[in-house]
Amino acid sequence: MFNIEDILATLPHRPPFLLIDRILELEDGVRAVGLKNVTMNEQFFVGHFPGRPVMPGVLIVEALAQVGAFIILRQSEYAGKIVMFAGIDDFRFKRPVTPGDTLKLEVSLDKMRRRIGKGQAKATVDGTLVAEGGLMFAIVD
């Protein structure tokens, strides 16, 4: 398991845009499982939506991408690089994520060629699927 200090030492993201709290599992270069505790204190809930707070889907995708970036950046050849989105494929959102939810973020890398990676991602809350789809990553200096 990796705590917030490990995540901060690996990813370039910082609050308020760091969207993962813990990495529960890491299979080097292959897959990882992370957690995001969703609280009412999140800045995006101020405007999304007043009286009915819902985590924006794009931020769920970003949280998943950060778990994917963690997988990549833990590999010695990519340490210190930046991982950026290169594509998002067939993403589907199944139910809203609201304050009090804990997002379980699972990402597996299917292909890595040079500096481009592809993978599958899914987010669940209490075992219920909330989002899933494909992600593509580009590694830059």
CA–CA gap between residue 5 and residue 16 (Å, rounded): 15
The structural domains of the chain, with segments of one domain joined by +, span 4-140
| Predicted TM-score (pTM) of this structure | 0.97
Retrieve residue 127's tokens: 């075992």
Just list the catalytic residues: 48
- pLDDT digit string (tens) for the chain, length 141 residues: 999 999 999 999 999 999 999 999 999 999 999 999 999 999 999 999 999 999 999 999 999 999 999 999 999 999 999 999 999 999 999 999 999 999 999 999 999 898 999 999 999 999 999 999 999 999 998
First-to-last alpha carbon distance for the chain, in angstroms, is 27
- Give me the pLDDT at residue 18, please: 97
CATH 3.10.129.10 fits 4-140, yes or no: yes
